[in-house]
Amino acid sequence: MPLGVPVPKLLATRGYGADVILDGPTVDTSLRLAAEFAERTGAVLIPPFNHRDIIVGQGTLGLEIVQDMPDVDTILLAVGGGGLIAGVAGAVKAMAAAAGRTVRIIGVQAENSAPYPESLRAGYPIEVVTRPTIADGILVSRPGDIPFAMIQELVDDVVTVTDDDIARAMLVLLERAKVVVEPAGAVGVAAILAGKVEAHGPTVAVLSGGNIDPLLLQRVVAHGLAASGRYMSMRIPLPDRPGQLSRVSDLIAQAGANVIEVLHTRHGQGLQISEVVLQISVETRGEEHKALTLQTLKDAGFHPVVVPD
């Protein structure tokens, strides 16, 4: 497994009796190291996606979807190496054709790890340079040769989503569906919420994993709230005289926002001797309410600066 594997996934795997070796930054690196281990020790290597039997096995998910929702129009799936979507596309497209129907199959990749769009444009698998993403479960730099050929033929489109999109989707799933989904598993919902895919007719977004470190979940929730305009951290320079903190708090309350955390300090780069800085985090009800809160402070003569969470 990669060195950055979520702790719950690592502990669960060890709990099932596996001897886990941690090495390398990505799934691709781990796969190469696993192949070397198999060659050296005679162990049997089970590829995660680039093998026909694996693809066929993952395709049974497509059978279940059609059985549960015969009138499905669109299915969205996370794409890493491509085994899951290749199998599902093969099964669903065959069943749909037999029934005289069409079903759209849409793949979703994290923007920072998206070899498929470029590879599909080129017509062959391309290795891309990946960047860090919260969707570690689909952090793959090159498509598998076998799934790529199937995806090229059967999948209607592959779109990408940002980490902000993913965080918002995870928050919606947590609040509305009461489901904890790992970042890679939430990309289908993220694509719909971000407007990357038009969901017309019965639509299935496959939630393909729930392995997430609680500490990461905490950060993702905060990030998702900020990305949705529901949480904001500000830095506000103030004159160093009594009553300023109270005045700011009153203005925030007047705007209908809720103060979460306050840090009042006389130390900060660029501060005048007669100034202090107020770092304050507030809960808002969305982008419009966030803008209203900022404008209320500005109208009163303050100069709030939004600080990234």
Q: Say if 106 falls within a structural domain.
A: yes
**Residue 235 is part of a domain; what is its CATH number?**
3.30.70.260
Q: Which domain holds residue 146?
A: 52-226
Q: How far apart are CA 246 and CA 240, in angstroms?
A: 13
| Same-domain status, 193 and 251 | no
Q: Say if 173 falls within a structural domain.
A: yes
| Same-domain status, 194 and 140 | yes
| Same-domain status, 63 and 190 | yes
pLDDT at 200: 84
pLDDT at 271: 67
Q: Is the pTM of this model over 0.75?
A: yes
| Same-domain status, 75 and 160 | yes
Where among 191, 206, 226 does a domain terminate? Answer: 226
Q: Say if 181 falls within a structural domain.
A: yes
| Same-domain status, 22 and 91 | no
Q: 5, 26 in Cβ contact below 8 A?
A: no
Three-point CA angle 39, 43, 49, nearest 5°: 85
| Same-domain status, 212 and 237 | no
Q: Say if 46 falls within a structural domain.
A: no
State the Cα torsion 266-267-271-276 to the nearest 10°: -20
| Same-domain status, 234 and 193 | no
Among candidate residues 218, 302, 163, the one with its CA nearest the CA of residue 280: 302
C-alpha distance from residue 213 to each of 14, 156, 255 (Å)? 16, 33, 35
Q: How far apart are CA 51 and CA 47, in angstroms?
A: 6
Q: Say if 14 falls within a structural domain.
A: yes
pLDDT at 268: 62
Q: Say if 2 falls within a structural domain.
A: no
| Same-domain status, 104 and 139 | yes
Mean pLDDT by 10 residues, the chain (309 residues): 86 94 85 93 94 97 97 97 97 96 97 97 95 91 96 98 95 95 97 93 94 88 86 91 92 95 77 82 94 96 89
The 8-class DSSP code of residue 213 comes to: -
In the chain, the number of structural domains is: 3
Q: 182, 209 in Cβ contact below 8 A?
A: yes
Among candidate residues 41, 54, 53, 104, the one with its CA nearest the CA of residue 80: 54
Q: Say if 1 falls within a structural domain.
A: no
Q: 111, 160 in Cβ contact below 8 A?
A: yes
Q: 101, 143 in Cβ contact below 8 A?
A: no
* 218 φ, ψ (degrees, to nearest 5): -60, -45
Q: 302, 238 in Cβ contact below 8 A?
A: yes
Q: Say if 211 falls within a structural domain.
A: yes
| Same-domain status, 73 and 207 | yes
Q: How far apart are CA 259 and CA 237, in angstroms?
A: 17
Among candidate residues 308, 221, 2, the one with its CA nearest the CA of residue 132: 2
**Residue 139 is part of a domain; what is its CATH number?**
3.40.50.1100
| Same-domain status, 72 and 211 | yes
Q: How far apart are CA 231 and CA 225, in angstroms?
A: 5
102's tokens: 């069409």
The radius of gyration computed from the CA coordinates of the chain, to the nearest angstrom, equals: 24
pLDDT at 27: 80
Those residues whose C-beta lies under 8 Å from the C-beta of residue 114, and which sit 6 or more positions away, are: 128, 158, 160
| Same-domain status, 235 and 208 | no
| Same-domain status, 66 and 37 | no
Question: 3-state DSSP call for residue 150?
Answer: helix
